[in-house]
Structure 1
């Protein structure tokens, strides 16, 4: 008998994958955590029934959340990642030689441990000596560290449960205060097909705080609708002006040529920024 896992992405739509076995299951203090082995995408992490990452397509999300900001800021030395317990964004951050500190703040320590066991290629950056891992509330951490970071990357789960506060204006205000005077933030902001109201609201909230606000997208097969959005807020640096870092990046999706075209949005997505 074939076994299939289905994520119900909306009340009327889902994505399904053929699986071979369940590798891990536990109920953490915050959520249900499952690791399943799929035929199409390799290992898949699922939190509260929602796909977080897979072996095969993880690089798209992690590269696009990270490198757009890191190549907009001319000298990102101190970087903070909120969420992202799988370590993928940290892996991308530490590719930059000028990074002196990379701090990961993840509320659920079990996600970090599961990633180390079942996604070692994603979690590999956590062993870098520049990395500090904090298992605590990201909102609280932000409030306690003003004017400390050049770049803040918000790698949150969907806006349910413990992640709801990561999509609200007070959190973005805290990020603004935690950034230095020329700091940049990027947050994942869900699907332009299924989360239009959320994207519009987040864009407006961020645009009231930052001199520059920019929405961009990437294609991620296992995320709802396959089209995903990210929203950048920059205090000083125009996202249209790419600061090319000296080191050549080892990337599979992101490139400087792609970066230059990111802000040419389809009209139905562009409407969300008005």
Structure 2
């Protein structure tokens, strides 16, 4: 479809040139339940372009399968996407009236089901 180019290596190459030296990129990464082969392919070419590549997902009830994934890439080899940049206390979560996000949800987004973890680990 019309969004197909957003999942191609040429798109990620273009985005890489637009980033600062320490820049990060977060793009739609499709759903592990529906497009695992595409996610594997994307991880492979992203790893050839960026020193840090991660896949995360979250729950989106209105999306087919109820989940959507994100491909996260960084030009900085010291980037750790798995840890929140700012650890939120329960008080901060409440003060900001957050209904979904907290530091634990952030970390959990990177914990993949075994079938997806195996594919991801193989790349």
Q: Which TM-score tier does this pair reach, normalised by the shorter chain?
A: 0.7 to 0.9
- Aligned residue runs from structure 1 range 171-182, under 5 A: 171-182=11-22
Q: Aligned in 2, Cα 1:267/1:181: closer, same or farther, shift over 3 Å?
A: same
Name the counterpart of 1:224: 64
Cα drift, residue 250 of structure 1: 4.7
Q: Indicate the RMSD between aligned Cα atoms, in angstroms.
A: 1.9
Offset from partner CA, 1:207-261 (integer Å, 9 cap, x none):
1111111111112222121122111001211213431179x55532221221123
Runs of 4+ in 1 over 4 A off after TM superposition: none
Name the counterpart of 2:7: 167
Q: Which has the higher strand share?
A: 1
Offset from partner CA, 1:135-165 (integer Å, 9 cap, x none):
xxxxxxxxxxxxxxxxxxxxxxxxx12x121
1-structure distance, mates of 2:10, 2:40: 16
Name the counterpart of 1:193: 33
Q: Which has the higher helix share?
A: 2
Unpaired runs of 5+ in structure 1? 1-159
Q: Aligned in 2, Cα 1:254/1:171: closer, same or farther, shift over 3 Å?
A: same
Q: Aligned in 2, Cα 1:212/1:250: closer, same or farther, shift over 3 Å?
A: farther
1-structure distance, mates of 2:31, 2:60: 10
Any idea what SS the aligned residue of 2:81 has? coil
Cα drift, residue 186 of structure 1: 0.8
Name the counterpart of 1:214: 54
Q: Which has the larger radius of gyration?
A: 1
Q: Which TM-score applies when normalising by structure 1? A: 0.38
Q: Which TM-score applies when normalising by structure 2? A: 0.80
Offset from partner CA, 1:148-189 (integer Å, 9 cap, x none):
xxxxxxxxxxxx12x121111011011111111111111112
Any idea what SS the aligned residue of 1:225 has? helix
Aligned length: 113
2-structure distance, mates of 1:181, 1:229: 25
Q: Aligned in 2, Cα 1:184/1:250: closer, same or farther, shift over 3 Å?
A: farther
Per chain length, whose mean CA-contact separation is higher, i.e. which structure has more relative contact order (CA < 8 Å, sep 6+)? 2
